[in-house]
Amino acid sequence: MRKDVRILLVGEPKVGKTSLIMSLVSEEFPDEVPLRAEEITIPADVTPERVPTHIVDYSEAEQSDEQLYQEISKANVICIVYSVNNKKSIEKVTSHWIPLINDRTDKDSRVPLILVGNKSDLVEHSSMETILPIMNQFQDIETCVECSAKNLKNISELFYYAQKAVLHPTGPLYCPEEKELKSSCIKALTRIFKVSDLDNDGILNDNELNFFQRTCFNTPLAPQALEDVKNVVRRNMNDGVKDNGLTLKGFLFLHTLFIQRGRHETTWTVLRRFGYDDDLELTQEYLFPIIKIPPDCTTELNHNAYLFLQSVFDKHDKDRDCALSPEEVKDLFKVFPYMPWGPDVNNTVCTNDQGWITYQGYLSQWTLTTYLDVQRSLEYLGYLGYSIIYEQESQAAAITVTRNKRIDLQKKQTQRSVFRCNVLGARGSGKSGFLQAFLGRNLQRQRRIREDHKSFYAISTTYVYGQEKYLLLHEMMPDFDFLSEAELACDVVCLVYDVNNPRSFEYCAKVYKQYFIDSKTPCVVIAAKSDLHEVRQHYSLSPHEFCRKHKLHPPQPFTCNTTEALNKDIYTRLTTMAMYPHARLRCMCACNRCTYCLCQNLLKLELLRSIKAQLRRVVYNRHMAQADLKNSTFWLRASVGATVIAVLGFAMYRALLKQR
């Protein structure tokens, strides 16, 4: 809503423009009236709409035409004042003032007009019969008010209507000729209906209507008031109420009725609560709330955001198969002005055998969008009405900005849930197959993917020591001479080569030596297409020798050319390395530098340290709580308890070692 309102009064000399302003301010008719009143500002706290209002007078005797044109261009609403006992001043409304104002304003942004018939105290009849044809002729005229500056009749009402014409205009909502809502208004209200229809059954039941009422007007409807509303709809249309709930047709009818009865503010309150501006477009402030993201920090969805997205999925998964069919996806995005997901999304996340996005894939795509483009994620959540349904100030409440990665490295722990792996390799080395295998697709399924539907991303969940994490794989273009620092930023790197191509590994070696040899980012070499015959690589060192020299993992064999379930251990290892990139303890297996094993060893030692710390706290707390008990029985019990805890902790440690 506008932050202030500027009202301009124009009209023929002696019709009472200045008297109206002075009567409003002083609440009495002035004995002496100047040629022109100075601009006055009415504070927000004394106006019905709580908006500062500036009232500007025009005097032909004191102002030039150029000054008049400037005031017209600055005005939010213009009151054309005429005298009800002066036919000439009424004629001038159509012959002079309306054409003049229209010539000085853009056709697409005409200011609303209020016709003001002053000096009603001097006549016994009304001028409305003369004015109504004028109102029907010009769509810019919001309303007509007859008043009297002398006896203060309708003075406050005049300026209230002027204010209302700016803050709650009729033009964007309603077409008086057709006597129906405009298409842009129907579109906005339809989105509002779908967002408010929490169970997606096409009906607003009593709970949903009460939630809508409380959201927009801060108060629920009494049961009788709810019935009265539905009865009004029933009397006027057959399909406005269904199963004792309000249908979309009934919802639109109610707003049409509000507008026809002059209650535009009701519809505008609803529209603005759901983020719409005066042009019935969602505002930039609503769609893109400010969120600060420091360098080396990432963005993730928080717990409430996932709960909200889960509820959105559930209400559109009508057949309860834990997947969204193309029709269900289309229905979900009906509240969007465009389709945000293309066919590549189906090759970015997990799908079922029919190619439909599963629940896990749905959440993965939202996680991907939030990580790569948080502004786009905020926009999408805005269309779905997150801040309204969860009663938050904005969608920014759904986002967690992770702490700086350097702090994670210093503390050797992280609270992040999403980790990025850049996948590099020469053309044809098997990068795309590596991505698709992460989504459970073997080579046979991958061959059915259309070229224009391919994706350079793949994201899904992995479990690291019982914790669910997202691993985001990004296939990089092979022109490594043009890789920027931003493109290389990630948590772990995969260097993929084709064991059957003798020139494939050379690319991996060059990339590693150019970008990662001095980097703190962990790297893994993937020996792709391991089901084929392995040939000697045309490089000075074999892949195994290269990895040994640079203290890397040995090349990890990988193939997706199988009919069996794909082994996903490598993806768990990548996630583990991303979480603990600087684990440097002695390895527990024969490879001597296996980061996966190093991380296991690190966690076990951390667990043991945690158990010892808990033991110290138990003894210390027991000592502090019962410091006055110095008898031998107390210390015997404390010693036994501490011994039991130590034995259990050592047993857990031994069990973890045996697992490896």
Beta bridge partners of 300: 400
Q: Do residues 229 and 221 lie in contact, with contact meaning Cβ atoms separated by under 8 Å? A: yes
Per-position DSSP letters for 365-433, written without gaps between them: HHHHHHHH-HHHHHHHHHHHTHHHHTT-SSGGGGEEEPPPHHHHHHHT-----EEEEEEEE-TTSSHHH
The SS3 call for residue 88 is: helix
The token duo for 311 is 């509820």
3-class secondary-structure state, position 645: helix
R_g of the chain, CA atoms, integer Å:
36
Q: Which residue has the tokens 């199963």?
A: 243
**Nearest Cα to 19, choosing from 36, 42, 40, 41?**
36
Contacts of 645 (CB under 8 A, 6+ apart): 611, 614, 615, 618
Fill in the amino acid letter for 384. L
Residues, the chain, total? 660
Q: What's the average pLDDT block by block, 10 residues per block, for the chain (660 residues)? A: 87 93 90 89 83 93 93 94 93 93 81 92 86 86 91 91 89 85 96 96 95 91 90 93 95 94 91 94 96 94 97 95 96 96 96 95 98 97 96 95 90 91 94 96 92 94 93 88 79 96 95 90 95 94 95 93 89 93 48 48 52 54 49 51 57 52
Taking CA atoms, 142 is separated from 80, 100, 101, 162, 620, in Å, by 12, 17, 15, 9, 78
What is the rounded distance in angstroms from the CA atom of residue 551 to the CA atom of residue 600?
18
Q: What pLDDT shows up at residue 104? A: 85
SS3 label, residue 225: helix
The secondary structure element, H or E, covering residue 70 is helix 65-74
pLDDT of residue 520: 85
- pLDDT of 593: 47
Residue carrying structure tokens 């008898």: 631
Supply the DSSP string of 564-607, one letter for each residue. SPPP-HHHHHHHHHHHSTT--SPPSSTTS--HHHHHHHHHHHHH
Structure-token match 């986002």, residue found: 399
CA dist 241 and 222 (Å) reads: 18
Spatial contact of 286 and 392, defined as CB atoms under 8 Å apart:
no
**In 10 A of CB 414, how many CB atoms?**
19
Output the pTM of the full model: 0.81
What's the token pair of residue 533?
A: 């015959």
